[in-house]
């Protein structure tokens, strides 16, 4: 089991969870191929994170890299940037720019 974390990424957790649900449970090669051609804002960050998790597994001396499966992907909300946007009649509206903490865990699948 190898873990890679990406913290304080400027991507809303709601948008990141869409990508996380697409790659969860897939083997690493198919997840990387899916992310490479995905037209989503955070796909490139997920791609780098999965490559990092594979490198961590390789560093730890895990089993064959081709046998790795994405076993767990969690997306948690990080700190929120609060900004103000001018509106009509001298008013202002608060704009919240959310960020995420993403954790990817890969494990080697047992050969049956």
**pLDDT score at 109:** 83
The residue ranges of every structural domain in the chain are 2-108
| CA atoms of 111 and 53, how far apart (whole Å) | 21
CATH architecture of 2-108: Alpha-Beta Complex (3.90)
Count Cβ atoms within 10 A of the Cβ of residue 72 and give its class: 0-12 exposed, 13-18 middle, 19 or more buried. Answer: middle
- Does residue 108 surpass a pLDDT of 60? yes
- 3-state class of 80 per DSSP? coil
In this prediction, residues 10-38 reach a mean pLDDT of 95
pTM: 0.88
Q: Work out the percent of the chain whose per-residue pLDDT is above 70.
A: 96
**pLDDT score at 112:** 53
- Does residue 111 surpass a pLDDT of 80? no
- Residue range 41-81, pLDDT digits in tens: 899 999 999 999 999 999 988 667 888 999 999 999 999 99
The token duo for 76 is 């948690």
| CA atoms of 79 and 111, how far apart (whole Å) | 41
**pLDDT score at 65:** 80
The overall average pLDDT reported for the chain is 93
In this prediction, residues 99-103 reach a mean pLDDT of 97
């Amino acid at each position: 089991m190898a873990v890679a974390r990406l913290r304080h990424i400027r991507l809303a957790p709601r948008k990141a969870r869409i990508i996380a649900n697409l790659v969860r449970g897939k083997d690493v090669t198919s997840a990387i191929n899916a992310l490479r051609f995905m037209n989503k804002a955070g796909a490139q960050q997920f791609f780098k994170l999965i490559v990092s998790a594979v490198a961590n597994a390789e560093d730890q001396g895990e089993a064959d890299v081709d046998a790795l499966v994405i076993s767990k992907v969690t997306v948690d909300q990080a700190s929120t940037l609060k900004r103000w946007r001018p509106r009509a009649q001298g008013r202002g509206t608060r704009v919240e720019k959310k960020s995420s903490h993403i954790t990817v865990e890969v494990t080697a699948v047992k050969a049956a």
